[in-house]
């Protein structure tokens, strides 16, 4: 029987260090942690799916909170039930009232636990929706103020057309073209695409 930890942050910019420290306080080493940098809206996450393949009956999986498991009420409850059905114990550091156990709880305790789980997963989904709404509102306000989003447009360099024609006529290679206009490969091909659409 093993104990695993699952850590999730929503984006690459967010730091998972706090959750990792929480796992360490639970006695879980980094080799037994599964870390995803992905949204909690669904469960199509590589490390989470790997965790499900690894766990066996009698194992325990620790989460910092139910929100780290997921932020979709119905799917999160379904995943919770999957672990229970397969004999895997669940431990939520911040919501210990929904932790599972090997003991056969009485029907009232199970019912209360289910109600709490339903409320927590509903709040998690609602919070995610509110965050998305605030982000969309913030972006809309910023756009009205003239704030630009996304990558800054790359201007066509001097002599672009000359080198473009030579490249199309196969007089120079793409590498020579990139070097002449001082562009990285990804930027170069993106600019070629834009240029050819606008032509």
Strands 33-37 and 60-63: unpaired
Catalytic residue among 10, 39, 65, 101, which? 10
Strands laid side by side in the 3-9 sheet: 33-37, 3-9, 60-63, 89-92
- Whole-angstrom distance, CA of residue 40 vs CA of residue 26: 23
- Does residue 100 carry a pLDDT above 80? yes
Q: What is the pLDDT of residue 136?
A: 75
pLDDT tens-place string over residues 148-188? 666 555 567 778 888 888 988 899 999 999 888 888 888 88
Catalytic (active site) residue 10: yes
Give pTM, 2 decimals. Answer: 0.65
């Amino acid at each position: 029987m093993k104990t695993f930890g699952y850590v999730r942050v929503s984006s690459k910019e967010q730091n998972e260090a706090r959750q990792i420290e929480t796992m360490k306080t639970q006695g879980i080493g980094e080799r037994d942690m599964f870390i995803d940098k992905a949204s909690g809206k669904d469960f199509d996450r590589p490390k989470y799916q790997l965790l499900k393949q690894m766990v066996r009956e009698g194992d325990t999986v620790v989460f910092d909170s139910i929100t780290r498991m997921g932020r979709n009420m119905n799917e999160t409850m379904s995943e919770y039930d999957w672990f229970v059905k397969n004999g895997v114990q669940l431990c939520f550091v911040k919501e210990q009232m929904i932790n599972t156990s090997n003991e056969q709880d009485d029907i009232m305790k199970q019912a209360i636990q289910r109600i709490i789980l339903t409320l927590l997963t509903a709040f998690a989904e609602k919070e995610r929706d509110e965050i998305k709404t605030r982000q969309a509102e913030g972006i809309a306000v910023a756009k009205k103020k003239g704030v630009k989003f996304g990558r800054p447009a790359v201007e066509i360099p001097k002599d672009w057309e000359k080198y473009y024609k030579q490249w199309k006529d196969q007089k120079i290679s793409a590498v020579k073209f990139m070097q002449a206009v001082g562009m990285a490969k990804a930027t170069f091909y993106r600019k070629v695409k834009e240029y050819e659409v606008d032509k």
